[in-house]
Structure 1
């Protein structure tokens, strides 16, 4: 009888471990790895187009930029491992830029017009403020930069910026493929056990929701007396609302996968995500200018509240079901 009990206990333990392993495999194979591959491919497409087309308003250039930026937003909550190596995440996405370093850095580049800066090695060592999607947004959408002189150097600089994005995106994807995914599957390398792997994934979910509530929504909302519409993310290119939708749509399947088959929790999470997704899609406010309009502001405040309600549900129900805590994340400086 004793042996039977031990055998049953071992079988239950084995099944639980298989379920957890399947959850990690599902997240890696269905979400993270395909998304990182998409970013690498669209980053290279952007570099290829930017090498031959310089005019900021050209549709092929803007389309390539939009696709690569979309693919970054879909993985921007995964601030661990390969994205943190060599500060790749910051090199791709230096935002928020509270001190206005990006336009100052770009203006310096154009004024000095240093040919040496345009080499891949030198550009990779340059200020992060002048690299990545947000810096390129200035070059493509800000009137102070779209026709800046000297013209030839501006074209070469934007091509170097796009190439740098492609290089970092490819490096991130390569590291995920070559080693990091396997570390998460086997709880090896930086992970001591499966709980630490789950903690990492759960933390990235919280990072994404915190960024939505506090930065993508909180920064432009400011206060009722002092709204800050020009603190909205990527407002120059009219992508502020779009990024909120993309981020929510990327975070939802991660949360559902982390629920690991718990049907009641899955239903709760699906409903809790659907509310802010639908509200964000219906804002009809690409640059979030409505934060400065009392008649429209309440809709954005309601969206922020729904995101915070979602965070509360994940903290109160999903975290305990996984046996993990949110912990610190990259937005906290950890």
Structure 2
């Protein structure tokens, strides 16, 4: 983990005998940066590089699936920030191009493969290809979809997967730099209210941004990860479930809820037991569905259970309003999904 001297000093100040009480807003920011954000960014970068290294050694789909799952699991703890006011180094959509409402991914991959486009052999050029051919969801097709995943070692598809994994690792590095570079998000959060900070004029604004990260992620899970496969009562849409080809739909929802629970518990001045309890209840119910790809979202009984899970997530949002919002005197702001 990085040597976050400034943040660690703020954390330690809470336990030192000082004549002036520590600022609870600055303490909250420091806890999140040190305890949650730093290890989350490190894990995403490490797993993305491990995936790229594995693809360099053996690019075939069966050999890469484990490393792919590790990388996706790590991304789920980073993703909440891309859903609020933090742009993941400008790469959020390329890393996680979902929902793919127009079905752009298969044609983009097929076009590259049919033409054997040499763009895959130059990392700088590959970074400019369509986002539909990059990131975790394009890789999901290459590794799990029978129409793409049968390629042998040494084939063009093998080179494409190697380019995709190397590109993902490079984007993970960019995300890390966007957070921990000299003028990155971490520094902006830590120095909120200080002269020369162009992003946050007060510590309260920094805390509000972090609280918005919690609420935006909860809404994404409730309204999109669950809402899309549920569709409407008359027209359920199980094939719209996230990452259904790799049977990660439930795994993604659980991983994201666990991450946002940890984030809320870290941000809240006295922890967030009610928020975490509501999310734990939701996770238990997701597990009980025994439906990893939400393939049975069109079953009436399953739909009712998914609606209960949505209610648990709503309960977590209400609890976080008390444990974070009211406790720190902040309200959730706008997020990347507003207006969609």
- TM-score, shorter chain, exceeding 0.5: yes
Residue of structure 2 in register with 1:291 after alignment: 297
Please, which of 113, 116, 119 is the counterpart of residue 113 of structure 1?
116
Conserved in 2, the CA contact under 8 Å of 1:91 and 1:128?
Answer: yes
Kindly state the Cα deviation for residue 209 of structure 1 after the two structures are TM-superposed.
Answer: 0.5
Please, which of 58, 64, 84 is the counterpart of residue 67 of structure 2?
64
The 2-side partners of 1:333 and 1:49 are apart by 40
Residue of structure 2 in register with 1:6 after alignment: none
1:184 aligned onto 2:189: yes
Residue of structure 1 in register with 2:138 after alignment: 135
Summarize deviations over 1:28-64 as a string: whole Å, max 9, x none: 1111011100000000000011112122122xx1111
Conserved in 2, the CA contact under 8 Å of 1:82 and 1:175?
Answer: no
Residue of structure 2 in register with 1:274 after alignment: 280
Q: Give the aligned length.
A: 317
Residue of structure 1 in register with 2:165 after alignment: 162
Conserved in 2, the CA contact under 8 Å of 1:228 and 1:292?
Answer: yes
Kindly state the Cα deviation for residue 316 of structure 1 after the two structures are TM-superposed.
Answer: 5.7
Name the Cα RMSD after superposition: 2.3
The 2-side partners of 1:12 and 1:29 are apart by 22
Please, which of 24, 48, 66 is the counterpart of residue 29 of structure 2?
24
Runs (4+) of structure 1 exceeding 6 A deviation are none
The 2-side partners of 1:78 and 1:44 are apart by 21
Residue of structure 2 in register with 1:51 after alignment: 56
Structure 1: 5+ residue runs without aligned partners?
1-10
Residue of structure 2 in register with 1:253 after alignment: 262
Residue of structure 1 in register with 2:127 after alignment: 124
Please, which of 224, 231, 234 is the counterpart of residue 225 of structure 1?
234
Kindly state the Cα deviation for residue 83 of structure 1 after the two structures are TM-superposed.
Answer: 4.1
With structure 2 as the length reference, what TM-score do the two structures score?
0.87
SS state of the match for residue 290, structure 1?
coil
Residue of structure 1 in register with 2:11 after alignment: none
Residue of structure 2 in register with 1:35 after alignment: 40
Conserved in 2, the CA contact under 8 Å of 1:110 and 1:149?
Answer: no
Residue of structure 1 in register with 2:317 after alignment: 311
The 2-side partners of 1:149 and 1:303 are apart by 41
* CA spacing shift, 1:129–1:313, aligned 2, 3 Å: same
SS state of the match for residue 15, structure 1?
coil
The 2-side partners of 1:102 and 1:230 are apart by 15
Structure 2: 5+ residue runs without aligned partners?
1-16
Residue of structure 2 in register with 1:204 after alignment: 213
* CA spacing shift, 1:317–1:176, aligned 2, 3 Å: closer
1:300 aligned onto 2:306: yes
1:241 aligned onto 2:250: yes
- Larger Rg over CA atoms: 1
Conserved in 2, the CA contact under 8 Å of 1:110 and 1:150?
Answer: no
The 2-side partners of 1:12 and 1:320 are apart by 26
* CA spacing shift, 1:202–1:82, aligned 2, 3 Å: closer
Which protein has the bigger helix share?
A: 1
